[in-house]
Amino acid sequence: MSIRYISVASGSSGNCHYIEKSKTKILVDAGLSGKKIEEHLRQHHVDLSTLGGIMVTHEHSDHIKGVGIISRRYDVPVFATIKTWESMENCLGKIKPENKRVFTPYESFSIGDIEINPFSTSHDAVDSCGFAISDGKNKLSIATDLGCVTDKVMEYISHSELVILESNHDEQMLKMGSYPYYLKQRVLSEFGHLSNADAGDVAAKLAKLGTKAVLLAHLSQENNMPVLAYQTVASIMEEQGVYANKDMDLMVLERSRVSDIFII
């Protein structure tokens, strides 16, 4: 059986990814209310009662809002780094001790039929991570909330069939927008968020390394538009000899709407 992926929500107001392989089901982040996550996944007839785990990228509220309630409601283990646990624990409510699991970046671990390879990302969180997720044959990677894509990140996400890649903002929209100066500088820094232009460069590299599809994720509501993100990334790919939806599929994930099911 193939790996199935669903974007439950993707944006600066909430992020959640669902991944399934055979009987193993996991979430990466749960940045919406538990009710919203259940409602969105019900559209694809997904039952969370057999969820195997929630993996947390970092402690920001748009990634952990529903973690506590989902863990308590379905008796689900939560996986995070030690530093992330220390930062987010008071925000989650009571979690059973046996459901508090720790992983270390660059040390792989498994949940059921799924192998997870966590890697560090450059973001203004205590210990933010992305994940390369594999069944031993196929691989998908999640790389969002990162101000730059380091060589180490590229090493981990390369040769993925599917990559969920941040395309947070258009630089001109951000610079001309209403954000205060300090916040603009934070977003633009190497510990902020990936721009559309940066995402285009990364997408072109991934295509040349065999990636079949890139899903643009975590778009800013104030400083980006789906059509602009798509056009910018596709244009930069074309400049580098790679054509969207010919050499590699390219799509934009929606902020508040569950995606189709992607199968790899």
Residue-wise burial string across 207-228, b where 16 or more C-beta atoms lie within 10 A, e elsewhere: beeebbbbbbbbbbeebbeeeb
Domains of the chain, by residue range, sit at 1-107, 146-255
Average pLDDT over residues 198-206: 99
| Architecture, CATH, for domain 1-107 | 4-Layer Sandwich (3.60)
Average pLDDT over residues 135-146: 97
Secondary structure class of 50 (helix, strand, coil)? helix
pLDDT band at 10 (very low <50, low <70, confident <90, very high): very high
Give me the chain's average pLDDT, please: 97
In the predicted structure, residue 1 carries a pLDDT above the cut 90:
no
Q: CB under 8 Å to 248, separation ≥6 — which residues?
A: 203, 206, 207, 211, 212, 213, 214, 237, 242
pLDDT band at 13 (very low <50, low <70, confident <90, very high): confident
Question: Can you say whether the dihedral through the CA atoms of 109, 111, 116, 119 is positive or negative?
Answer: negative
The Cα–Cα gap between 133 and 118 comes to 8
Q: Which tens digit of pLDDT belongs to each residue from 71-100?
A: 999 999 999 999 999 999 999 999 999 999
pLDDT band at 190 (very low <50, low <70, confident <90, very high): very high
Q: Which tens digit of pLDDT belongs to each residue from 37-60?
A: 999 999 999 999 999 999 999 999
| Architecture, CATH, for domain 146-255 | 4-Layer Sandwich (3.60)
pLDDT band at 12 (very low <50, low <70, confident <90, very high): confident
Phi-psi region at 11: left, alpha or beta (left = phi > 0; alpha = psi -120 to 50): left
Element at 119 (helix H, strand E):
strand 114-120
Do 1-107 and 146-255 show the same overall fold?
A: yes
pLDDT band at 31 (very low <50, low <70, confident <90, very high): very high
